[in-house]
Amino acid sequence: MSKIRVVIAKPGLDGHDRGAKVIARALRDAGMEVIYTGLRQTPEQIVAAALQEDADAIGLSILSGAHNHICPRVMELLREQGLDDVLVVVGGIIPDVDIPRLKEIGIKGVFLPGTPMQAIVDFIQGNVRTRQA
């Protein structure tokens, strides 16, 4: 089976990248191919990276409260590009009241502070599209 390919991205203006980097490493150690975009990526850049890298999953790290703006835009662009089957998960500081709306637009996993790395690894492995090798 080929490796799961994951784009880890930090959208918005925030530079707190500890979580994004730690999870990037944990996914890599779990055998995935991880592409970390670096900081301050627009939704357009993130979707372009997913397209170019043939990503199976996208992990967005958002701590600043901008998720309600960034996530819908990412999902819309993915649909436009025909990348509906890419698994999208979000990690960060997300108020409980916002989670249902994120799920509604197609974000499959929302991971809050304190989530074990293994839980995120398992979730991605369990929910990613199956790839024909």
Partner 1 sequence: MTSRPPSTASAPRERAARFQTISGREISRVYDAPSRADAPADPGVFPYTRGIHATGYRGKLWTMRQFAGFGTPEETNERYRHLLAAGGTGLSVAFDLPTLMGRDPSHPLSLGEVGKCGVSVVTLADMETLFAGIPLGDVTTSMTINSPAAMVFAMYLVVAEQQGVPWTALSGTIQNDILKEFIAQKEYIYPPRASMRLVTDTFAFCAREVPRWNSISVSGYHIREAGATAAQELAFTLRDGIEYVQYGVDAGLAVDDFAPRISFFFNAHSDFFEEIAKYRAARQVWATVMRDRFGAKSDRSWKLRFHAQTAGVSLTAQQPYNNVVRTALQALSAVLGGANSLHTNSLDEALALPTEDAATLALRTQQILAHETGVASVADPLGGSYFVEALTADLTREALDYIARIDAMGGMVAAIERGFPQREIAESAYRFQQAVERGEQVIVGVNDHIASDEPPVEILYIDDTATERQAERLESVKARRDQASVERALDGVRRAAAGTDNLMPPILDAVRAYATLGEMCDALREVWGEWEESVVI
Give the footprint of partner 1 on this chain (CB under 8 A).
12-18, 21-22, 24-26, 28, 34, 36, 38-40, 42, 64-70, 73, 93, 95-97, 112-114, 116-118
Query: Shortest approach of partner 1 to residue 1 CB, angstroms?
Result: 24
Alpha-carbon span 9 to 37, nearest angstrom = 5
Contacts of 132 (CB under 8 A, 6+ apart): none
Alpha-carbon span 124 to 57, nearest angstrom = 8
Query: Shortest approach of partner 1 to residue 123 CB, angstroms?
Result: 15
Give the residue with the Cβ less far from partner 1, 44 or 84. 44
Give the residue with the Cβ less far from partner 1, 31 or 116. 116
Query: Shortest approach of partner 1 to residue 42 CB, angstroms?
Result: 7
Alpha-carbon span 112 to 130, nearest angstrom = 26
Give the residue with the Cβ less far from partner 1, 31 or 113. 113
Instruction: Kindly report the number of other CB atoms within 10 A of residue 21's CB atom.
Output: 13
Query: Shortest approach of partner 1 to residue 109 CB, angstroms?
Result: 16
Surface-to-core class of residue 44, CB atoms within 10 Å of its CB (0-12 exposed, 13-18 middle, 19+ buried): exposed
